[in-house]
Amino acid sequence: MANIKSQIKRNSRSQRERFENRHYTSQIKTYFRRLETAVTAGDVDVIDAEHKKLVSLIDKAVKRGALHANTGARKKSRAERIRRAVPVA
């Protein structure tokens, strides 16, 4: 455990930032699952809504620094591929 006051502050700050970053990454994973579920169900309106929310969330995470810009671009590309894989009914 740190004895120096500035290091104690830094430890608590880094822990708080880690939890915020984990919040974003966890939400992104959740919305990927929701998008995949919507695609298998085949409901176009739900697919568009979930995709829009997922892309928005990825952009926010990149802007905030929780994700690297290239990682965000890769995830958005993956989301678009999933979205276009709508089964023809």
- Number of Cα atoms under 13 Å in the Cβ half of residue 56: 6
Q: Which domains does the chain have, with CATH numbers?
A: 5-84 (1.20.58.110)
How far is 29 from 15, CA to CA, in rounded Å? Answer: 21
pLDDT tens by residue, the chain, 89 residues: 788 999 999 999 999 999 999 999 999 999 999 999 999 998 899 999 999 999 999 999 999 999 999 999 999 999 999 999 876 55
User: What is the model's pLDDT at position 22?
Assistant: 96
User: Which pTM was predicted?
Assistant: 0.84
